[in-house]
Structure 1
């Protein structure tokens, strides 16, 4: 029994895992699967994941942007949960996934680039002025994933298909970032997110095809 316990501990250490990382990863994976299937329970699990990840990002990995992102995720997940409840219960037209217009996609791209630059510079200033905030690590990669995650989350709340495209970029960068930070289980988590993002896109695309576009008007 003792030998098995020691073997388990060594396996967890090999993958750089802690109980908090394992719990956060598990809740995140289930949450993404449920959201891909347009199930409401994905959002409370997302809140659990965000809370644990905020603690880990700031205290363990010094990823300041990611830590702030995870903290913001908590009210954002509540907003998304509410948006889906209202969208599904109040609207007379089907609340189904849709694409933005080409003009709005271009505006989204420009806004994202501007926000990444502003966010990155803001984090540098904040780290210099606030003593308890550590010097940011991987500043621009971290800023990019943070800003794009905000955009993707709000697009997901409105069931816009572009959210899955943005999540793909975030997940690919996340694999690289957390591997560099010595947390292979979080790298694996983002790899799973990448696969689930493709699954989510397929599921939402089927919803798009199942309803006439003329009657599907999302908020």
Structure 2
């Protein structure tokens, strides 16, 4: 499974690099990456993250469609911020999803790290939706997700994936800076 993990990681690097640049082509690489990671995470008994890859695949297709409609096929897509009320709603919904999913995995599966897995899963769902909607806050969530993911993948011995998430963390910081600048220009 190690070769598959390395290929998925390489696709992920291209995906995030294109995403930081607000290129619609990030989605093609993202779909290939998550397709491979579904198998990697299933083998590692990270069931929440394995199932998350199915969601990501669908969300990548949805995001691709939204970004093309927003004019992303010819240029960089426009981005904007959530309202303060929207931020609060997203935070509460993400926490509720994560806690409930963690309880289900703890109670009904042999998941290796049910609550850590579910926190990453719940936050990743929110971040991916916010990404599709082109909201700057998606990067804040990705930074938190990357930090948690690095710890989980190191604990599970998924070293290439942990390394990928170190790179994702750096790219997420760059993405946040780039998208903040783009949102300011769009005002």
Report the RMSD for the aligned CA atoms in angstroms: 1.6
Where do 5+ consecutive residues of structure 2 fail to align?
Answer: none
1:169 counterpart residue number: 144
Aligned twin of 1:119: 101
Q: Is 1:157 aligned to residue 139 of structure 2?
A: no
User: Normalization by structure 1: what TM-score?
Assistant: 0.80
SS in 2 for 1:88: coil
Runs of 4+ in structure 1 over 4 Å off:
none
Task: Note the 1:1-219 alignment, pairs <5 A.
Answer: 18-59=2-43, 61-88=44-71, 96-127=78-109, 135-211=110-186, 213=187
Secondary structure of 1:146 counterpart: helix
Cα separation, 2, equivalents of 1:102 and 1:46: 29
Larger Rg: 1
Whole-Å Cα distance in 2 between the matches of residues 207 and 150 of structure 1? Answer: 24
Q: 2-side partners of 1:67 and 1:45: how far apart?
A: 18
Q: Distance in 2 between matches of 1:19 and 1:195?
A: 24
User: What's the TM-score once normalised by structure 2's chain length?
Assistant: 0.93
Q: Distance in 2 between matches of 1:98 and 1:19?
A: 38
Q: Deviations over 1:36-64 (max 9, x none)?
A: 101111101001110110001012x1101
Return the alpha-carbon distance in structure 2 between the equivalents of residues 199 and 28 of structure 1: 16
Aligned length: 184
Measure the CA separation in 1 of the matches of 2:66 and 2:49.
Answer: 24
C-alpha distance in structure 2 between counterparts of 1:21 and 1:111, whole Å? 31
